[in-house]
């Protein structure tokens, strides 16, 4: 089977070429991250996280901000929520819809409500579909996810003027080039509710920002926000290619998304171990561990040596079951976690968390490479 991972990766490469972007973008020395989960599943609207992200404006430069919300579309929870950027609503839209109807049904097609912001230049038209693929339409072995990834590939590589960047069920990604509060107001983020939010304020350091390059990055159920640089990108990419992924998107955040997908979904590692593989302890530390732990860590490093991510990073990854934050193993980027009742917060700065919650019961800076995980009960 021609792996669908190949498709996905190809999209990205051609995507960046199609959109005329320089091939490598990094979220550099700063960037701001804030995320929250309500473990009881209680929905929160987007107004608080907007203010929290804005507090960290110093970490961005107005060239990219975005929000991910899990639980965004309860009325269409069984449908894939597809978010696209259109350059115009004539040619690309007709071709995209033709492609979607080939493999499934469009339940709803609508412009994502936006409101003009004086500081935000509308470069694209955000559109969304609630979509259900036909079972077996791509052959008996293909899953719904395969169909979605095929569609994503097709749209992002072959349909000029269209970019599909959000494909999860009951998940919405809202992003653009702009400051956090402007992007939030543009999408009226306060009108959305969800049990889990990820937000990112970008400071691109190697190339200019663009709407598609803003975080969060989403692949079906997985979403990633990232502050830092993955300097092991080459090693990680070659490793991923051996599993059929083709990392040609030329953004380092891409490998985080694929590595998580490979380890946690395809290899079915518990999330704790998957993250340990990305940021494992040093060998000398492993040598000093109790026997059981030593063996486990040795095995992970031997099996997943090429999945190790080097360079400075702090990331939060999420799927519909929860969120996880982790830094590189020598702690070259900040990460703070805090708890208040059912809520777990993970952020670049304590002050941002305090914008969302005054009464924090427990606040701490996780050790380098040690994941903080919050799961829906």
Partner 1 sequence: MAEKISIDAEGLHYTPLNQQIRAAVAAGAKEIVLDNVNGQRFIGNGLRGKDVRITINGVPGGDLGMFMSGPTCIVHANAEHAPGNTMDAGTIYIHGNAGDAVAHSMRGGEVYVKGNIGYRGGIHMKEYQDKKPVLVVGGRTRAFLGEYMAGGLLIVLGRGYTCPVDERGIGTGIHGGEIFIRGEVPEKHLGIGATKKPFTEKERELIRPYIKKYCIEFGIDDPSLFEDEYVRIGPASARPFAGKYTWE
Binding mask 55-84 toward partner 1 (x if CB under 8 A, else -) reads: xx-x--------------------------
- Give the residue from 217, 69, 66 showing the smallest Cα distance to 152: 217
Nearer to partner 1, 294 or 354 (CB): 354
Count residues near partner 1 (CB under 8 A). 21
Site residues for partner 1, 284-323, by CB under 8 A, read: 284-285, 288
* E strand or H helix that includes residue 105: strand 104-111
* E strand or H helix that includes residue 126: strand 125-133
Paired tokens of 342 = 């059912």
Instruction: Please select the residue that binds partner 1; options are 102, 132, 265, 331, rule is CB under 8 A.
Output: 331
Query: Which of the ranges 92-100, 261-269, 301-309, 328-336 carries the binding residues for partner 1, by CB under 8 A?
Result: 328-336
Nearer to partner 1, 17 or 365 (CB): 365
Q: Give the helix ranges, DSSP H, for the chain.
A: 4-18, 47-55, 91-103, 144-158, 180-187, 233-241, 253-260, 271-278, 283-287, 291-303, 350-356
Shortest Cβ distance from residue 351 to partner 1 (Å)? Answer: 3
Paired tokens of 373 = 């995980």
Nearer to partner 1, 272 or 285 (CB): 285
Nearer to partner 1, 58 or 272 (CB): 58
Specify whether 27 is catalytic.
no
Shortest Cβ distance from residue 203 to partner 1 (Å)? Answer: 14
| Rounded alpha-carbon distances, angstroms, from residue 221 to 11, 48, 204, 258, 270 | 18, 24, 25, 12, 16
Output the CA angle 60-61-62, nearest 5 degrees: 100
Site residues for partner 1, 30-59, by CB under 8 A, read: 55-56, 58
Shortest Cβ distance from residue 334 to partner 1 (Å)? Answer: 6
Query: What does the alpha-carbon distance between residue 282 and residue 280 come to, in Å, rounded to a whole number?
Result: 7
Paired tokens of 362 = 């427990």
**Does the footprint of partner 1 cover residue 158 (CB under 8 A)?**
no
Instruction: Please select the residue that binds partner 1; options are 22, 77, 303, 330, rule is CB under 8 A.
Output: 330
Query: What does the alpha-carbon distance between residue 202 and residue 179 come to, in Å, rounded to a whole number?
Result: 9
Binding mask 334-373 toward partner 1 (x if CB under 8 A, else -) reads: x-x------------xxxx-xx-------x-x-xx-----
Residue 45, sorted as left (phi over 0), alpha (psi -120 to 50) or beta, turns out to be: beta
- Give the residue from 180, 325, 231 showing the smallest Cα distance to 26: 231
Shortest Cβ distance from residue 364 to partner 1 (Å)? Answer: 9
Nearer to partner 1, 292 or 358 (CB): 358
The answer to whether the beta carbons of residues 217 and 12 sit under 8 Å apart is: no
Site residues for partner 1, 184-203, by CB under 8 A, read: none
Beta bridge partners of 376: none
DSSP string, 198-220: EEEE--B-SS---GGGSSPEEET
Shortest Cβ distance from residue 284 to partner 1 (Å)? Answer: 7
Site residues for partner 1, 271-290, by CB under 8 A, read: 282, 284-285, 288
Residue 134 backbone phi and psi in degrees, to 5: -75, 130
Nearer to partner 1, 43 or 334 (CB): 334
Nearer to partner 1, 269 or 308 (CB): 308
Looking at the annotation, which residues are catalytic? 31
Report the interface residues with partner 1, using CB under 8 A.
55-56, 58, 282, 284-285, 288, 330-331, 334, 336, 349-352, 354-355, 363, 365, 367-368
């Amino acid at each position: 089977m021609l792996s669908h991972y190949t498709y996905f990766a190809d999209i990205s490469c051609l995507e960046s070429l199609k959109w005329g972007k320089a091939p490598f973008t990094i979220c550099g020395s700063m960037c701001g991250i804030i995320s929250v989960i309500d473990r009881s599943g209680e929905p929160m609207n987007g107004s608080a996280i907007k203010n929290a992200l804005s507090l960290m404006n110093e970490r961005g430069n107005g060239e990219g901000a975005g929000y991910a919300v899990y639980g965004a579309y309860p009325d269409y929870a069984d449908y894939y929520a597809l978010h696209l950027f259109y350059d115009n609503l004539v040619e690309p839209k007709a071709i995209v819809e033709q492609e979607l109807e080939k493999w499934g049904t469009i339940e709803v097609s609508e412009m994502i409500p936006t409101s003009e912001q004086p500081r935000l230049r509308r470069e694209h038209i955000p559109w969304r579909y609630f979509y259900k693929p036909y079972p077996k339409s791509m052959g008996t072995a293909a899953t719904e996810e395969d169909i979605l990834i095929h569609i994503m590939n097709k749209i992002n590589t072959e349909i000029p003027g269209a970019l599909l960047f959000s494909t999860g069920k009951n998940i919405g990604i809202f992003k653009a080039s702009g400051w956090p509060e402007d992007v939030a107001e543009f999408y009226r983020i306060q009108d959305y509710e969800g049990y889990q939010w990820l937000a990112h304020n970008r400071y691109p350091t190697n190339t200019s920002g663009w709407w598609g390059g803003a975080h969060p990055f989403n692949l079906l159920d997985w979403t990633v926000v990232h502050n830092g640089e993955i300097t092991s990108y080459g090693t990680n990419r070659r490793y991923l290619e051996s599993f059929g992924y083709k990392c040609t998107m030329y953004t380092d955040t891409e490998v985080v998304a694929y590595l998580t997908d490979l380890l946690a979904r395809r290899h079915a590692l518990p999330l704790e171990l998957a993250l340990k593989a990305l940021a494992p302890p040093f060998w000398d530390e492993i040598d000093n561990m109790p026997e059981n732990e030593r063996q486990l860590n040795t095995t992970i490093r031997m099996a997943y040596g090429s999945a190790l991510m080097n360079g400075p990073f702090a990331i939060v990854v999420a799927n519909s079951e929860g969120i996880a934050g982790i830094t590189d193993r020598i702690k070259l980027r900040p990460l703070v976690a805090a708890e208040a009742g059912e809520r777990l917060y993970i952020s670049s700065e304590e002050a941002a968390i305090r914008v969302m919650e005054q009464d924090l019961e427990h606040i701490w800076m996780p050790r380098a490479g040690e994941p903080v995980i919050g799961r829906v009960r």
